[in-house]
Structure 1
């Protein structure tokens, strides 16, 4: 188990190990643990003396964004961008328990927003638990916003370059964009609800400015969820358009093959008839007979092709 702790109070800031910070007092004590084993569960239960429900919520293997009031505190699970390269999921989770004067957070994977909030704590802009949880929500949504915008830009580029010659490349790009949009929306929709619920909790450690910041983060999450839904629908329509273009291309090629077959079918019949190894074939011993047959075949081919052209069978 690894982690850090900050103690803020009376204009002073201390950075300590989580165990050492338990004996300190201040307006804000932030304990952050980075772990993927059972040591965090034991420390939270035996050293920090948190309730079993809170410990289970902070150390659960699988989580989704949520917010639950627990006495005079709250458990918040959020999802944000991971700063590690080995994240198995679309977004990494941060589990937070907030109460008067204390904030406990646990991550199983590195989270970019944690580093952002640490910087704000060290610069003195975060002074209480309400400030910290609001800053965490804002940092997470601020990092996700450009990611969602990039997905929309990628889809715009695909729509502008819609061409059958690039169908395979475009289909793969559209599918990747759609999969990413679905993965992000899976967590952003409940994250909006969690932030909205947190902002309405009647907790004394949440001030009016904290609630405004949480409302802004929830509104941004709602907008991103709507944008992701739009991206998903646009990607589905574009995939259908590419499928239609592919089907149209196959139909055109099948038509060309059919026309060529129709042109050569009577020529094949004529040449097969004259090529029979029997006596009595007209003009078999004339010097001009070969070129005569070639001329007849050419006239027949041109006549059939002219018929199809007049009927607009060659039009795309």
Structure 2
């Protein structure tokens, strides 16, 4: 099939969401699908630089013109078909396959985190990205490119996206740490906050850590054995991103343990207050028991009730009830003191 046929038939069925061609100096300009097809159809010696092509049509991107003009690794197609969402980056036959997630995290916990997944295939000439939802990281990267920022290789674009995700992780850790600090301050001054907010943060941290954190071993393997076409500067930036991810993961793990300790302290305070309330109710019941018992016995309408005919019978019974009540109160409070 000729290039003209591709341009007339498949561009309509698979529109290019956004595309950029980068010159050798690293500056990029926006192109449409026809220009991308024409650039990819030329040999590498006649088309210096590289492309960034972004699509939002996941089901058909593998059967359209990108799969015919761009060499896509087999694992990239499997990741798209299976909808793999956990962050990953791996080296497959001199290509890089990456999954990057963009999170819209609500620090007030009024709703669950919204996650947009971005699947990427990176080669020496082209970075191809596909997403089901419009990720904010793509918009930010597009604005940087259009503002004149230089990217000397497709790997540099991928590293920038990874840095965006690492920044999201650090931002989530900072917001969660601030909430934990506020709860600890409330505990120190004697207030008793609820555990619901901390529980929501801990669940979000567990989910986001599982979803956003790449496998450290795989990432460091890639850092130690990068593709042959990757520039030394890009390998160094990738190594720095791996260290930032490791730092973010350590901070998240430490924050999870800290939140668990705070929740445990709150639970102990709640248990202490509950025990205090139960003790007060028990003490009141026991102290009032002699009066209730005496009044119940003397209230029976049967013969033989003592002091029934005595002139000072009421005061005798009142004195007896008061003595028994005082004795029970003394026993209760003495035991509490012990």
Could you say which TM-score interval applies, normalised by the shorter chain? 0.7 to 0.9
Query: How many Å separate the matches in 2 of 1:51 and 1:282?
Result: 101
Structure 1 runs of 4+ off > 6 angstroms? none
- Residue by residue, what CA displacement relative to the aligned partner does 1:117-153 show, whole Å, maximum 9, x if unpaired? 2223221321321321222222221232111111122
Query: How many Å separate the matches in 2 of 1:300 and 1:88?
Result: 60
Cα 1:101–1:311 shift into 2, 3 Å: same
Q: Secondary structure at the match of 1:278?
A: coil
Question: Are 1:75 and 2:87 counterparts?
Answer: no
Check whether the contact 1:80–1:144 (CA below 8 A) recurs between aligned residues.
Answer: no
Check whether the contact 2:226–2:235 (CA below 8 A) recurs between aligned residues.
Answer: no
Query: Which consecutive unaligned segments of at least 5 residues does structure 2 have?
Result: 1-14, 40-46
Question: Are 1:108 and 2:132 counterparts?
Answer: yes
* Residue aligning to 2:61: 40
Cα 1:113–1:196 shift into 2, 3 Å: farther
* CA drift at 1:32: 0.9
Check whether the contact 1:83–1:112 (CA below 8 A) recurs between aligned residues.
Answer: no
Check whether the contact 2:91–2:97 (CA below 8 A) recurs between aligned residues.
Answer: yes
* Residue aligning to 2:277: 253
**Structure-to-structure mapping, 1:136-151, within 5 angstroms:** 136-151=161-176
Q: Secondary structure at the match of 2:17?
A: strand
- Residue by residue, what CA displacement relative to the aligned partner does 1:164-193 show, whole Å, maximum 9, x if unpaired? x975x5210111011011012113443544
Check whether the contact 2:85–2:211 (CA below 8 A) recurs between aligned residues.
Answer: no
Cα 1:309–1:113 shift into 2, 3 Å: same
Q: TM-score, normalised by structure 2?
A: 0.79
Residue among 211, 221, 233 paired with 1:187? 211
Cα 1:176–1:2 shift into 2, 3 Å: farther
* Residue aligning to 2:38: 23
Check whether the contact 1:66–1:76 (CA below 8 A) recurs between aligned residues.
Answer: yes
Cα 1:149–1:137 shift into 2, 3 Å: same
**Structure-to-structure mapping, 1:1-316, within 5 angstroms:** 2-10=16-24, 13-24=28-39, 25-35=47-57, 37-43=58-64, 44-48=66-70, 50-82=72-104, 91-122=115-146, 123-162=148-187, 170-286=194-310, 288-312=312-336
Check whether the contact 1:94–1:105 (CA below 8 A) recurs between aligned residues.
Answer: yes
- Residue by residue, what CA displacement relative to the aligned partner does 1:224-270 show, whole Å, maximum 9, x if unpaired? 11111122222223333333333333332332232222222222222
Q: TM-score, normalised by structure 1?
A: 0.84
Q: What is the root-mean-square deviation of aligned Cα atoms in Å?
A: 3.0
Query: How many Å separate the matches in 1 of 2:270 and 2:112?
Result: 34
Query: How many Å separate the matches in 1 of 2:112 and 2:36?
Result: 32
- Residue by residue, what CA displacement relative to the aligned partner does 1:46-91 show, whole Å, maximum 9, x if unpaired? 354534443333454123222332323211222332599xx98664
* CA drift at 1:29: 0.6
Q: How many equivalent residue pairs? A: 310
Check whether the contact 1:28–1:128 (CA below 8 A) recurs between aligned residues.
Answer: yes
The farther-off stretch of 218-227 and 265-274 is 265-274
